Structure 1
Amino acid sequence: MAATRAIAAVAGQTASCLLSKRPFALKQKPNSICFNRKTFVVSKRLFSCNAIYNPEVQIKEEGQPETLDYRVFFVTNSGKKISPWHDVPLHLGDGSFNFIVEIPKESSAKMEVATDELYTPIKQDTKKGKLRYYPYNINWNYGLLPQTWEDPCFANSEVEGAFGDNDPVDVVEIGGARRKIGEILKVKPLAALAMIDEGELDWKIVAISLDDPKASLVNDVDDVEKHFPDTLTAIRDWFRDYKIPDGKPANKFGLGNKAASKDYALKVITEANESWAKLVKRSIPSGELSLV
């Protein structure tokens, strides 16, 4: 049976503007431009809409887990479906970001936001009509940063000229708690790994939830090495090797095969947010991607 369960309000901060034909009110910021009823801040600032209300978000499950028709939708208190990719805000204004859990730690079902479906619900990935699983459990909470997009037409000169993978930016959350599918966490970025998957650039932002007991101890890549020893190496090795049991080659990593700093991670997030803004205002063809 479908079930609805409440999750945290979007970190108690600003909510994003809902997409076309949905009512909202905006607080205008200096140096901003409105496109299609949304506000995108220009220059180096993050693109994000600020609504004057803070709706609590719920998730609504449809279908049974580990079936082809299973979906996790995001809905407002009034029952309206929203997109976790487009409608949940990215930046919270205090150096932290919203992170949406797709895959809880110590699980193997390959869950992901369906970027080509209306309202982009979370579903289990498939290949040739069969549900996909990792060959072994992932050891961290894994998911996405909303309002980001890795442009498949942009070649990154700093990472072997690799093009974006056409998805939101991925996050590996290293906190101790096992989270739930669809949970929205307030996180701070700590590092970035430049994974190259079959020639595509697939960033992995290493972050920690602010409610984790160790969150105050870690603020950059060196702190991760100190307080979570060997974790960065373990993350890199896990993502390097997880396709090998299926007969595929190991993934590669750019930037000297090392984790980049927090500042570099913030640069990656800002660029991906700018690409998302161009996508939703239709400056870039969307192809099969859903913008609702």
Structure 2
Amino acid sequence: VIFNVVIEISKGSKVKYELDKKTGLIKVDRILYSSVVYPHNYGFVPRTLCEDNDPIDVLVIMQEPVLPGCFLRARAIGLMPMIDQGEKDDKIIAVCVDDPEYKHITNINELPPHRLSEIRRFFEDYKKNENKEVAVNDFLQPGPAIEAIQYSMDLYAEYILHTLRR
């Protein structure tokens, strides 16, 4: 399954951007408090909604950093279940299907173990200096990732229908 991802944060950045729902623009949320940088491009699947009232998050593995605000085509290769300050905040792990180095990857287990450790460690550590608690669970296969995307699309559709009925 190939889907679009809007990139909010470039690979290698310490700047945490996020979509401002009121303006539709990408705003600076904060500069990360620690010395870590985003290990890969990070964004969201448009027209999705999760329990935290944000679109579903996606970490896109590819060779190059991408500018915030652009979108790319991705394939889910796994899911990283995560709890952020007591709230579910799962991350889809994906590859860019237009990157020749990664387009053949279909399962998270095809990535080198070190790459998975790097991703996990980033999410365990990136909020530590803000004294915010994050718990990262074991990576799951592509199936649960695709189900999570579909569920978040359904939640978004329900939200839109509810809004239109007002």
Pair in the same fold by TM > 0.5: yes
Output one character per residue of 1:201-250: Cα deviation in whole Å (capped at 9) or x when no partner.
1111111111112234310122124xxx422221111111111112333x
* Closer/same/farther in 2, CA of residues 166 and 285 from structure 1, 3 Å limit: farther
Root-mean-square deviation (CA, aligned residues, Å) is: 1.9
- 2:31 maps to amino acid: Y
Q: In the alignment, is the contact (CA less than 8 A) between 1:141 and 1:174 conserved in 2?
A: yes
In structure 2, the residue matched to 1:124 is 28
- Name the TM-score, length of structure 2 as normaliser: 0.91
Check 1:165–1:285 CA distance in 2 against 1; reply closer, same or farther (3 A cut). Answer: farther
- Structure 2: segments with no counterpart, 5+ residues: none
Which structure has the higher relative contact order (CA within 8 Å, separation 6+)? 2
Aligned to 2:3: 97
Give 1:172's aligned residue. 59
- Determine if contact 2:96/2:103 at 8 Å carries over to the other structure: no
Q: Give the alignment partner of residue 114 of structure 1, picking from 20, 25, 28.
A: 20
Alignment deviations for residues 24-53 of structure 1 (CA, whole Å, 9 cap, x no partner):
xxxxxxxxxxxxxxxxxxxxxxxxxxxxxx
Query: Which of 197, 209, 213 is the matching residue for 2:84?
Result: 197
1:273 and 2:160 matched: no
Determine which structure has more spread, i.e. the larger CA radius of gyration. Answer: 1
Greater helix percent: which structure?
Answer: 2
Residue 145 of structure 1 is aligned with which of 45, 62, 70? Answer: 45
Report the number of matched residues.
164
d(CA) in 2 for partners of 1:283 and 1:181? 28
Distance in 1 (CA, whole Å) between partners of 2:80 and 2:25 is 26
State how 1:51-66 maps to structure 2 within 5 Å: none
Aligned to 2:143: 263
Matches of 1:212 and 1:141, distance apart in 2? 13
